[in-house]
Structure 1
Amino acid sequence: FIVCLVPSVGFAVLFSSLSKNVYWTNNGWGWEDGESLMSFFCLNMLVVQEQKTWEDALEHCRKNDTNLISLLSWAENYLAMKEIEPLTFNESVWIGMRYLGDSWMWVNGDPLEYTAWLSGEDQDYQCPRLSRCGALTKEGKWEIRDCEEKLSFIWARPPSCKAGRTEDTC
């Protein structure tokens, strides 16, 4: 499904059908709430339940013109957790976080500012030994896993416009 986030107020809006007047402006998408134009951004999230190593999951995503998800805020982390919560498997899922050189980073290049480490791993994340890839638990916490483990994974990308529409009319 498509998830839309309202960064200024810190909550998410799930748009299954839009009953508001939606606009495209130079600053991005927005809708009018009766008094002012509220900005938001949307993500198309998908959990792939095929078990892959972290590298193979990343390759699968990139072949489909997307990336493993980067969780840059509490709201994005919460929405990703809600996406995997109803699934029947108990494993964590790969996310787009990896330890390279001497720091954790997101595969899309964004800095790791917001964190949601699993209790006890908040110490190990600074210098992981063999496990150097990030996974999201069903409880919305991050854990450090061996990149060669095989897990399901979650990706996100901006939703695309429907056929025949452009960014300013979809």
Structure 2
Amino acid sequence: MAEDVNYASVVFKNKNRSRPEGKNEEETVYDEVKVNNNSPEQSPDTNAKNKEETVYDEVKVKKNSTEQSPDTNDKKADGRRRHYRLLACCLATFCVILLLGIIAICVYKKMNLEKQNQKLETQNQELEMEKRNLTNQIKDMEAKGNELNISRAQWSIDAYCPRKDGGGRHCKSCQPGWNLFQSSCYVVLDYKTSTDRKTWEEAREHCKIRSSDLVVVDNAEEKTYVSGKSWKSSGNKGYWIGLKADGGKWKWVDGSDLADSSWIENPTDGHCAISVWKEGWKSVNCTNRNNWICEQKALSV
């Protein structure tokens, strides 16, 4: 038998693959060993085998590597530092914006308070000026009122107690031209032309100028007296008295209600009463133009 010759071919493959940054898990490397076993000779027991037989044995070796390269660690550290710097920058920016907002709100509120304070001061000055004006007006009115009261008192004395030729005074209960009945004085304003006659409101104002008012009838005797004074003249329809329809009721100018509703027809708002000679009282529109009768208290002498 010829000498056996064995050939062994060994191939090592280092399967080190680059791993993504940040992975620390265990690295596995497989090395492959191939053994070529050529046997050109045949054993006596293998006479039927004439072909060359090649046997490959693979040996796989598992290698565990837990070490990481320094470049990978540096990159991870740099990434963490950049991340922290970004967070710090965002936080600082937020703090600056918040501080500026607080400052802006404080300035705005301060400006509003100053404006309101200035407005209140202006209003206070205006109120003080109005107060001074009103005080002066009240003083003027009091002075004029005193003068008016003196003038009225003098006029009343002269009207009720006229001087005689000898210098003395003779007082009467009513002024000249007024008629005394019971405790009141009456004057009848009788005008021939309609232009001189007045509406109910105008007639009442005329009576007030003469320190009186439209006549108020308190009893049947006074009603008879007033009706007797309401004589008929040319074109005269009647004389205004102090009775007016208000809220579905007849009311006198002194605020009292009509005591006897049989004296006049049912009230109609906007109507006033006139006294007609020999006919009693009638309800007419207050804007009509008529003569009128005034009444004032008589002077006790």
Q: Which structure has the larger Rg?
A: 2
Q: Which of the numbers 292, 295, 298 marks the counterpart of 1:153?
A: 292
Aligned: 1:60 with 2:185: no
**Structure-2 separation of matches of 1:84 and 1:100:** 24
- CA deviations on 1:116-167 (whole Å, 9 max, x unpaired) are 22xxxx3xx24x26x511111101511111111100001111122xxxxxx4
Aligned: 1:2 with 2:148: no
SS at match of 1:52: coil
- The residue correspondences of 1:18-167 to structure 2 (distance < 5 A) are 42-50=183-191, 51-85=197-231, 87-89=232-234, 90-115=236-261, 116-117=263-264, 122=265, 125-126=266-267, 128=268, 131-160=270-299, 167=300
Aligned to 1:37: none
Structure with the bigger RCO (C-alpha within 8 Å, sep 6+) is 1
The total of aligned residue pairs comes to 116
**Structure-1 separation of matches of 2:260 and 2:272:** 17
- CA deviations on 1:12-45 (whole Å, 9 max, x unpaired) are xxxxxxxxxxxxxxxxxxxxxxxxxxxxxx2111
SS at match of 2:216: coil
- Aligned letter for 2:187? L
Distance apart, 1:72 and its partner CA: 2.1
Distance apart, 1:91 and its partner CA: 1.6
Distance 1:44 1:140, change over 3 A: farther
Superposition TM-score, scaled by structure 2 size = 0.36
Question: Which ranges of 4 or more aligned residues in structure 1 deviate by more than 3 Å?
Answer: none
Superposition TM-score, scaled by structure 1 size = 0.62
Q: Does the CA-based 8 Å contact 1:46-1:154 persist in structure 2?
A: yes
Q: Kindly, what percent of the aligned residue pairs are identical? A: 22
Q: Does the CA-based 8 Å contact 1:72-1:114 persist in structure 2?
A: no
SS at match of 1:112: coil
Distance 1:46 1:61, change over 3 A: same
- Aligned letter for 2:250? W
Q: Which has the higher helix share?
A: 2
Q: Which has the higher strand share?
A: 1
The CA RMSD over aligned residues, in Å, is: 1.7
SS at match of 2:257: coil
Q: Does the CA-based 8 Å contact 1:52-1:149 persist in structure 2?
A: yes
